[in-house]
Amino acid sequence: MRLHLLLLLALCGTGTTAAALSYSLRGNWSICNGNGSLELPGAVPGCVHSALFQQGLIQDSYYRFNDLNYRWISLDNWTYSKEFKIPFEISKWQKVNLILEGVDTISKILFNEVTIGETDNMFNRYEQCSFSWDWGPSFPTQGIWKDVRIEAYNICHLNDFTFSPIYDKSAQAWNLEIEATFDVVSSKPVGGQVIVAIPKLQTQQMYNLELQPGKRIVELFLNISKNITVETWWPHGHGNQTGYNMTILFELDGGLNIEKSAKVYFRTVELIEEPIKGSPGLSFYFKINGFPVFLKGSNWIPADSFQDRVTSELLRLLLQSVVDANMNTLRVWGGGIYEQDEFYELCDELGIMVWQDFMFACALYPTDQGFLDSVRAEVAYQIKRLKSHPSIIIWSGNNENEEALMMNWYHISITDRPIYIKDYVTLYVKNIRELVLAGDKSRPFITSSPTNGAETVAEGWVSRNPNSNYFGDVHFYDYISDCWNWKVFPRARFASEYGYQSWPSFSTLEKVSSTEDWSFSSKFSLHRQHHEGGNKQMLYQAGLHFKLPESTDPLRTFKDTIYLTQVMQAQCVKTETEFYRRGRSEIVDQQGHTMGALYWQLNDIWQAPSWASLEYGGKWKMLHYFAQNFFAPLLPVGFENENTFYIYGVSDLHSDYSMTLTVRVHTWSSLEPVCSCVTEHLVMKGGEAVRLYEEPVSELLRRCGNCTRESCVVSFYLSADHELLSPTNYHFLSSLKEALGLCKAQITAIISQQGDIFVFDLETSAVAPFVWLDVGSIPGRFSDNGFLMTEKTRTILFYPWEPTSKSELEQSFHVTSLTDIY
């Protein structure tokens, strides 16, 4: 790709005393293909695909098979050109820079027909998953995907400004390390003073400085009095996300004033790796502000193949859905992109902790000097850009490259392995780790994910088994074993990837497909599935516990199959996540103390089957509604072991609570419980998982009259003074394809409006598992969905994301339960 900028005229004018001028080159550019046969206008920031679409030259790139049809776009060379006039006299300025914040990816930059630069790294200031993954299409985009501008300045210019809050344990006081990078173009030293102020902390400090010509770094150390109360930043569900406005003013010689402002958050993070009684190995958990926090959440991938489509509104919608589902963490996965500033600002605001991978994934990378220089520039830039964000709690060198090397994914001969290990250590330890330790002392670093953490270090930076249950984090996938059997899951210290696939809703697929595509075995369905064997795996897993759809109507069968894959995914991830959550406080067979559960994956990059809980555009799958419950701060978890039924109480709270546990049993054939029991008052310890209840299944069935495993279902919840403290959870005593007494439920809804919220008053004629409320393409979410309805009536709220009406909801509303396909 070529960037061709033509300067037509520098307008003369009077002298200026401004510190700097910036002239944006955003907006309309001209785009031309390699042989000049196609020329069109295009927006910057943007990409070639978006420009072609906006001019009506191609369809939506996500429609049907267009990821194949439009491969020619990425195989061609493209030139971006712009003719412009600079509205100031260049000769009046000592330095004039052309700034390109992001170029995708290999390009040559010409200014007035003179080559002034080249780019070869999308993640540096001037996409890995652009070439497809098992959840996404191949759209290697080309274009100027971030801001482009001309900057002019005299005397000196503030290039970068970053800071890190540091807590001094010995002094029991907060300090702020501030770093400012200047380009001093004056031929003489530039003197002056700096004033840093945080008004709400009654803090102001002045420093003298002298800047020598050239690139200069100013380091400031701000002390905050220990007598001032500093409110810390907490993850969602653990406290407030308090921040303080800070200003920094540089008053320099020649009347040059440079002022910056920023939001400062104070928090500490520690990665605790220490011995655990009764278990070999080491713990792996995080303390935030000294408090152990169980990380609950998912893995983030780019929200779109085309970054110019990722709006502020979309980012806020997706991240708000994270906290609405009681999550507190996202892992920014190493095969995507370093997200834009607004992503991290929203995570700061919402209390979402970020596990930040560097952008290296599932590959063996070179270590020639040219590549290392590019990587070092990338890493240094990203550390400087991101380290001020309290939401980022850890840096990770890569995704799965330690495991790929040591488990020999790429069939390296034994004799060659030492060479590859040496290259691995060179890249991730001697370069990336070195830069992190030098540039950011406020958060931990691990070389990979999964990794054994301290054990990996002890073994020379690569472990024999990077997926060990006794150290670090694990990635776990198993599509063959029965996901209802919790014994197949690893009792790991931390589960940073796990999951199951499902298809997105029909209303999402309908926009990018045609009638002949609406079959699970259609060419479209096979093409859209990028995970080998994925469609068969979904049906196999669903078939273990549910009857597969057998309608004579092909469209009905397709819709029912989509629904069933979402039921299967939600139930599988629920079972696995609850297993991890109830294992936080116990050691079983020398394993346990699990302190993190991040399922794969949060969001979709297009409309296709994947592991995501949010569909492309943000619609909640059934899994996301389940996550709202299985990530609740207080949760009862039921499971069986050796024919005994147990209920554990799981608490992420900071305090102990007194409560009772209610256990009810329903038959599938009746809306009235056949038995119910309430425990004595229990004290649920804050930050622990403890056993609250156990009873042999045979005794439970006998106590409840005529119950059998096939005819009954158990539900349970925690409450205090008749107030519900937890979601109502449930436990199936048999596969639902073996359920006896389950009959087709007639479910009706009366919709009313209360302000901006809509109320759905539901009534059912029978017990209904996995009740799914759907309003098609109307953007919004329900207060609950995919639920087990064991009572005759239930009220559910709908929160629209855009203005809508009662009549629109009534026309689009459809309800499905498992009884509709049985």
Q: What does the alpha-carbon distance between residue 574 and residue 564 come to, in Å, rounded to a whole number?
A: 15
Task: Judge whether 435 lies within some domain.
Answer: no
CB 7 within 8 A of CB 134: no
| 255 contacts: CB under 8 Å, gap ≥ 6 | 17
User: What average pLDDT score do residues 682-700 get?
Assistant: 96
530: in domain = no
Flag whether pLDDT at 16 surpasses 50: no
Alpha carbon 201 to chain centroid, angstroms: 33
- Type and span of the H or E element at 394: strand 392-396
> Is 659 found in the same domain as 729?
yes
User: How far, in Å, CA of 703 to CA of 203, rounded?
Assistant: 67
Whose tokens are 């090397």? That residue is 405
Mean pLDDT of 284-290: 98
User: Last residue of some domain: 120, 153, 186?
Assistant: 153
% of residues, the chain, pLDDT over 70: 97
- Residue 802 backbone phi and psi in degrees, to 5: -140, 160
- Residue ending a domain, choose from 153, 187, 214: 153
For residue 197, being part of any structural domain is answered with: yes
Mean pLDDT of 560-565: 98
Of 544, 548, 547, 531, which is closest to residue 575 (Cα–Cα)?
A: 544
Query: What is the spatial distance between Cα 708 and Cα 789, in angstroms, rounded to a whole number?
Result: 20
**Three-class SS of 80-148:** EEEEEEECCCHHHCCEEEEEECCEECCEEEEECCEEEEEECCCCCCCCHHHEEECCEEECCCCEECCCE
Residue 388: inside a domain: no
- Summarize pLDDT for 508-538 with one digit per residue, the tens: 999 999 999 999 999 999 999 999 999 999 9
Q: Identify the pLDDT of residue 106.
A: 83
What is the spatial distance between Cα 712 and Cα 720, in angstroms, rounded to a whole number? Answer: 26
Same domain, 162 and 144: no
- What mean pLDDT do residues 588-603 have? 97
pLDDT for residue 138: 76
Whole-number pLDDT of residue 668: 96
Mean pLDDT of the chain: 94
The per-residue pLDDT for 91 is 87
- Could you confirm whether 497 is annotated as catalytic? yes
Q: What was the pLDDT predicted at 3?
A: 61
Above 60 in pLDDT, residue 192?
yes
> Rounded distance, CA 479 to CA 573, Å?
12
Residue 577 has pLDDT above 60, yes or no: yes
pLDDT in tens, 714-750: 999 999 988 899 999 999 999 999 999 999 999 999 9
The structure tokens 């060179």 sit at 426
- Residue 61 in any domain: the answer is yes
DSSP conformational letter for 358: -
Residues 670 and 760 reside in one and the same domain: no
> Is the predicted pLDDT of residue 13 greater than 60, yes or no?
no
Examine the pLDDT at 17 and tell me if it is beyond 60.
no
Question: In the structure, what pLDDT confidence band is assigned to residue 134 with cuts at 50, 70 and 90?
Answer: confident
Q: Which of 679, 713, 739 is the last residue of a domain?
A: 739
Residue in the structure block whose two tokens are 């009220």: 795
CA 340 to chain CA mean position, Å:
13
Indicate whether 687 and 761 sit together in one domain: no
Q: Are 777 and 796 in contact (CB under 8 A)?
A: no
Query: 171 and 117 in one domain?
Result: no
pLDDT band at 11 (very low <50, low <70, confident <90, very high): very low
pLDDT (0 to 100) of residue 739? 96
Are residue 149 and residue 160 in the same domain, yes or no?
no
Residue 654 and residue 642 in contact, taking contact as beta carbons nearer than 8 Å: no
**Domain annotation covers residue 554:** no
**Distance of alpha carbon 494 from alpha carbon 584, whole angstroms:** 9
Residue 494's pLDDT band (cuts 50, 70, 90): very high
Q: Please indicate, yes or no, if residue 259 is contained in any of the structural domains.
A: yes
Per-residue pLDDT tens digits for 54-104: 999 999 999 999 999 999 999 999 999 999 988 888 888 999 999 988 887
The strand ranges marked E within 189-268 are: 190-198, 203-211, 214-223, 244-252, 256-264
Is 179 labeled as catalytic in the residue annotation? Answer: no
* pLDDT over threshold 50, residue 12: no
- Mean of the pLDDT values across residues 576-602? 97
Q: Does pLDDT of 50 surpass 90?
A: yes
What is the structure's pLDDT at 443? 97
Domain containing 724 — which CATH number? 2.60.40.10
**Catalytic hit among 378, 497, 578, 615:** 497
257 falls within a domain: yes
Q: How deeply is 770 buried, as exposed, middle or buried, from its count of CB atoms within 10 A (0-12, 13-18, 19+)? A: buried
Q: Which of 127, 339, 400, 455 is catalytic?
A: 400
Q: Are residues 120 and 72 in the same domain?
A: yes
- Greatest CA span in the chain, whole angstroms? 95
What percent of the chain clears pLDDT 90, i.e. is strictly above it? 88
DSSP type of residue 430? I
Looking at the structure of the chain, the number of domains it has is 4
The helix (run of H) or strand (run of E) holding residue 331 is strand 329-332
Report the pLDDT value the prediction gives residue 102, as an integer from 0 to 100. Answer: 83
Q: Does residue 174 share a domain with residue 131?
A: no
Residue 411: Cβ within 10 Å count? 5
Confidence of residue 132 (pLDDT cuts 50, 70, 90): low
208 and 139 in a single domain? The answer is no
Task: Name 182's bridge partners.
Answer: 158, 216
Examine the pLDDT at 6 and tell me if it is beyond 70. no
Give tens-digit pLDDT for 298-339.
Answer: 999 999 988 899 999 999 999 999 999 999 999 999 999 999
> What's the pLDDT score for residue 131?
64
Phi-psi region of 577 (alpha: psi -120 to 50; beta: other; left: phi over 0): alpha
For residues 122 and 109, membership in a common domain is answered with: yes
Domain that holds residue 751: 743-821
pLDDT tops 90 at residue 575: yes
User: Which residue did the predictor score with more confidence, 668 or 254?
Assistant: 668
Q: Are residues 668 and 725 in the same domain?
A: yes
781 and 723 in one domain? no
Tokens of 48: 């070639």
